[in-house]
Structure 1
């Protein structure tokens, strides 16, 4: 199910996998970045997915004020949503984007009760979800 789509982000929910898929493209400003994250939270509140894929391959570098906003506003709510679930992060192809993601990761609290891994492609992330399901 397509939940939200703009030129800078597409958010899907896949009922059969209880999976939220957030795919970023290049964004131009803070409003677009924050709108994308806010829509991801809205999906989380509506559907309570246990599995998340954050596809950052095309994500632009994140400005410092947006990094701080992510740590203080987005991540506490997101962390509460993914507790007990699985989070696959597909890394960006952009060096500066990965550096800004690293800054955000250093500023956040450790993810407790969340299985999280980094990937280079979606196929590897889906294979990980499948292997985790087999273990349960």
Structure 2
């Protein structure tokens, strides 16, 4: 089920297991990135998301200004109202180190807010669901 979509991201929520899937594409404009991030946060709070699958295989890169906005504005809004100790599975295209660097920055900042955060990188999305569902 598509829950949210714009020109750079598609978001799906599986409420039965508190799982949110994001698939990013291209080079998101600041407006697209920020609107999507806020929509994702609203969905995550509404459905008490504790498992995140973030597919960045088709993402070219994140804008550093948007990464700063995410850390300064999105993360402080995310802490209250979301389950603690979430699991985040990142699906990479191993050739795209620029997207990975941006994701690393966001994950380090997220870990500082929630030290119980569990994250793992994957090159193939097939194993992510099993890892996300494991205890």
Instruction: Report whether the alignment pairs 1:88 with 2:89.
Output: yes
Query: Structure 2 length as normaliser, TM-score?
Result: 0.81
In the alignment, structure 1 segments of 5+ residues that lack a partner are none
Give the deviation of 1:8 after TM superposition.
Answer: 0.9
The answer (yes or no) to whether the contact 2:56–2:90 under 8 Å persists in 1 is yes
Secondary structure, counterpart of 1:52 in structure 2: strand
The answer (yes or no) to whether the contact 1:27–1:33 under 8 Å persists in 2 is no
Q: Deviations over 1:80-134 (max 9, x none)?
A: 52513322122345222222223434555523223222222221111212333xx
Q: Distance in 1 between matches of 2:106 and 2:117?
A: 17
The answer (yes or no) to whether the contact 2:27–2:62 under 8 Å persists in 1 is no
Instruction: Report whether the alignment pairs 1:114 with 2:113.
Output: no
Query: Matched residue pairs, number?
Result: 132
Decide whether aligned partners of structure 1 residues 68 and 26 sit closer, same or farther in structure 2, where only a CA change above 3 A counts.
same
The answer (yes or no) to whether the contact 2:89–2:122 under 8 Å persists in 1 is yes
Give the deviation of 1:10 after TM superposition.
Answer: 0.6
Secondary structure, counterpart of 2:61 in structure 1: coil
Q: Distance in 2 between matches of 1:129 and 1:107?
A: 21
In the alignment, structure 2 segments of 5+ residues that lack a partner are none
Instruction: Report whether the alignment pairs 1:101 with 2:103.
Output: yes
Decide whether aligned partners of structure 1 residues 59 and 75 sit closer, same or farther in structure 2, where only a CA change above 3 A counts.
farther
Q: Distance in 1 between matches of 2:92 and 2:102?
A: 11
* CA RMSD of superposed structures (Å): 2.2
Instruction: Report whether the alignment pairs 1:19 with 2:22.
Output: no
The equivalent residue for 1:58 is: 58
